[in-house]
A and B are shown apart, each in its own frame.
Chain A
Amino acid sequence: MELFINQVLAGIATGAIYACMALAVVMIYQAIDHLNFAQGEMAMFSTFIAWQLMQWGVPYWWAFLLTLAFSFAGGIAIERMLFKPLAKAPILTNVAGFIALFAIVNSVAGLTWDFTIKQFPTPFGSSPFLGSQLISTHQAGMIGVTVGLLILLYLFFQFTRIGLAMRAAASLPESARLVGINTSWMIALGWGMASAIGAIAGILIAPVVFLEPNMMGGVLIYGFAAAVLGGLTSPLGAVVGGFLVGVFENLAGTYIPGVGNELKLPIALALIITVLVLKPAGLFGRPIVKRV
């Protein structure tokens, strides 16, 4: 039993990483209706910016804020320059654009900061949390920030005018335009916010997985999986999905014989597909009714 509880705790700790990333994924999905494959790389790039600022002697929280501002502006700039012209192109062409962005960001980061792994500081410290060896204060802090972020996002979307406008633009673009919402800028705003949330995720994840250009590869896959599991239309679902994937992945690695690190991912994905087959809109997603 103790092994079980410990593994669940460890799973929640890794789940927080996935939850963070899944939140960023859902944000951009809400705004633009596509999954952004380059999301992880954008987060990685933001994390490098934060690292660089700290190397130059900027204090942690200033570096954090500056990185957020930079990521927000960067997200908007990418949308304006690269994806606004593709708005009318077929969806699959947009996906190809994401892959191209992925290649560019990854390669530029690799050339600027090379591929050696770097330590990344944490503001929460890394001593054991409440006497447990499995969750450090950093991981507890990460869970706290993720939940806080979720509440902030909820308040933003439910109770602000801009949040309402963004929801309207995402759900019925044409009607939103008719009531005077600038849908094109709402999409840009969605990119900016997703990019900033990605930056937060990256900065929180970096002390655990270490900083290097490929750090997000694995995390993004789990983030996608978590987002899809929770339902792509629900930020809450994304966070819950993240924790579930983390816990399940750990339990499968411990209890199913023959599942080493190599098979963890396929098993986690297999579980998700099983869930999707039973409940195609995800655990918390609203099924979309189609009308001809």
Chain B
Amino acid sequence: MSAVEEVTSEAPAVEAVPKRAMTLGYGTSLVVLGLLIIAPMFLKNFFVFQMTMLLIYALAVLALNILTGGSGQFSLGQSAFYAVGAYTSAILMEHMGVNYALTLPIAGIICFGFGFLFGQPALRLSGIYLALATFALAVAMPQLLKLGFFEHWTGGVQGLVVTKPDAPFGLPISQDRWLYYFTLVIAIGIYVASVNLLRSRSGRAFMAIRDNEIAASAMGVDVALYKTLAFGVSAGITGVAGGLGAIAVQFVAPDGYTITLAISLFLGMVVGGVGWLPGSIVGSAFIIFVPNIAEHISKGLSGAVFGVLLFLVIFLVPHGARQVAIVAQQLIGKLKK
């Protein structure tokens, strides 16, 4: 109710994360990478498929993390960008016969443009108002995809079936494994690029805006440009994830991309730690596996079990997986002494 808000005395919506703390050390990265490469060789096809989805959602969570953790803008509309990416890939593959690998950069570019344009009106909004605007986007997207006008391309309510690609060059591995490694390569590429982006001039501009928009603009950061840029980058990565998701699930339909997906991605970001990029994969694991676990514990009360588990996580580690990583690092540091 007060008309004047002290920006500095208020706790920022997103905590400042020191630049170096946004990534993992080399040793840990190598161990994680090794696990991700070796694990699928010993798993059944279904689990390999789940691990592919794990990487895809991790990418989508990472994209949200760049937007929220990096530039401090909140979005509940990630499912819309994901849907655009998925449909772009599906339509290019099925209607135009484009190779699946080539559809991904196109999906990314289209989503980048879409996000960049959406970022323009969003510039006027912040906090809860931005949340509502992005939310509206997420609610509208499935309805737009169902419109009769686009039906020839989108398949309307029924959606489109996507063919699963075979491993190239006659490699003796199953389709699922091939798709997993394909996804892994893309995921690593985007992760490295994102880390570098946040370390660059643009990344520092994002973080300056996140920490204090007025001060950032006083220092000469083009606030409007970098805010829309953050939206575009985030939407672009989400679009690539959406395209990969369409190829992995082999199916796109409007009802697969509702607001529930956007909320899941948001939960993934919180559980992984806002602004901590490696946490994305932890968050992704949470949103893929915990609902299944909840279903196992009790069919009728699966929603309640999921809620209780979520509460447990945020009570124990309000800052998400990042907090666990920091504690672990300190413990290791002590042991070394």
Cβ–Cβ contact A292 & B318, under 8 A: no
Q: Is A289 an interface residue (CB 8 A)?
A: yes
Considering the chains assembled together, what is the distance between the CA atoms of A221 and B76 in angstroms? 13
Give the complex CA separation of A222 and B102 in angstroms: 41
The answer to whether A266 touches B136, judged by C-beta atoms less than 8 angstroms apart, is yes
The answer to whether A93 touches B314, judged by C-beta atoms less than 8 angstroms apart, is yes
Q: Given A92-B13, A103-B306, A276-B124, A290–B314 Cβ distance below 8 Å? A: no
B92 to chain A, nearest CB (A): 26
Residues of chain B lying within 8 A (CB to CB) of residue A96: 266-267, 270-271, 310, 314
User: B5 and A104: CB pair below 8 A?
Assistant: no
Chain B residue contacts of A101, Cβ below 8 A: 307, 311
CB of B252, distance to nearest CB on chain A (Å): 19
Chain B residues whose CB sits within 8 angstroms of the CB of A221 once the complex forms: 139
On whether the beta carbons of B315 and A263 are closer than 8 Å, the reply is no
- The residue on A at minimum CB distance from B69 is A92
Among the listed A89, A93, A288, which residue makes an inter-chain contact with B4, where contact means beta carbons less than 8 Å apart? Answer: A288
**Quick one: which of A30, A86, A103 contacts B304, CB cutoff 8 A?**
A103
B133 partner residues in chain A, CB cutoff 8 A:
273, 276
Residues of A within 8 A of B (CB-CB), count: 53
What's the nearest-Cβ distance from chain B to residue A256, in Å? 14
Residues on the A chain within 8 Å of B14, using CB: 90, 92
B8 close to A85 (CB less than 8 A): no
Distance A35 CA – B136 CA, assembled complex (angstroms) = 16
With both beta carbons as reference points, the residue of chain A lying nearest to B15 in the complex is identified as A90
Quick check: is A108 within 8 A (CB to CB) of the other chain? yes
In the complex, chain A residues 248-284 whose Cβ is within 8 Å of any chain B Cβ:
262-263, 265-266, 269-270, 272-273, 276-277, 280
Q: Decide yes or no whether A100 CB sits under 8 A from chain B.
A: yes
A272 to B128 CA separation, bound complex (whole angstroms): 13
**A96-B314, A276-B124, A290-B5 given; A269·B13 CB < 8 A:** no
CB distance from B134 to the nearest CB of A (A): 10
Residues of B within 8 A of A288 (CB): 2-5
Binds A, one of B108-116, B140-148, B162-170: B140-148
Q: Are A97 and B212 in contact (CB under 8 A)?
A: no
B117 at the interface (CB under 8 A from A): no
In chain B, positions 297-317 with a C-beta closer than 8 Å to chain A are 300-308, 310-311, 314-315
- Per DSSP, chain A at the interface is helix
A-side contacts of B320, CB under 8 Å: 93
Asked if B263 is an interface residue, CB under 8 A from chain A, the answer is yes
B128 engages A228 (CB within 8 Å)? yes
Q: Are B314 and A291 in contact (CB under 8 A)?
A: no
Partner of A97, one of B8, B132, B311: B311
The answer to whether A280 and B144 have CB atoms under 8 Å apart is: no
A89-B314, A97-B314, A290-B7 known; A280+B139 contact, CB < 8 A: no
How far, in whole Å, are A266 and B218 apart by their CA atoms in the complex?
37
- Chain B contacts for A95, CB-based, 8 A: 266, 270
A86 → chain B closest CB, angstroms: 7
Cβ A108 vs Cβ B5 within 8 A: no
Chain B CB within 10 Å, residue with most, of A85, A86, A107, A232: A107
Asked if A289 and B303 sit within 8 Å, CB to CB, the answer is no
* Complex alpha-carbon distance, A86 and B132, angstroms: 23
- Whole-angstrom CA separation of A290 from B214 in the bound complex: 9
Complex CA distance for A35 and B128, rounded to whole angstroms: 8
Establish whether residues B304 and A107, one from each chain, have CB atoms under 8 Å apart when the complex forms.
yes
Assuming the contacts A232-B128, A276-B132, asked whether A100 and B4 have C-beta atoms less than 8 A apart, the reply is no
Given the complex, which residues of A lie within 8 Å of B2, measured CB to CB?
A: 171-172, 288
B1 located at the interface, meaning its Cβ lies under 8 Å from any Cβ of chain A in the complex: yes
Cα A228 to Cα B130 in complex, Å, equals 11
Could you tell me if A104 and B3 are in contact, using CB atoms closer than 8 angstroms?
A: no
A-contacting residues of B (Cβ < 8 Å)? Answer: 1-8, 11, 13-15, 68, 74, 121, 124-125, 128-129, 131-133, 135-136, 139-140, 143-144, 146, 212, 214-215, 218, 263, 266-267, 269-271, 274, 300-308, 310-311, 314-315, 318-320
19 contacting pairs across A/B (C-beta < 8 A): A89-B318, A90-B274, A93-B314, A96-B271, A99-B307, A100-B310, A102-B307, A103-B307, A104-B304, A106-B303, A107-B302, A108-B304, A111-B300, A170-B1, A172-B2, A272-B136, A288-B2, A289-B5, A292-B215
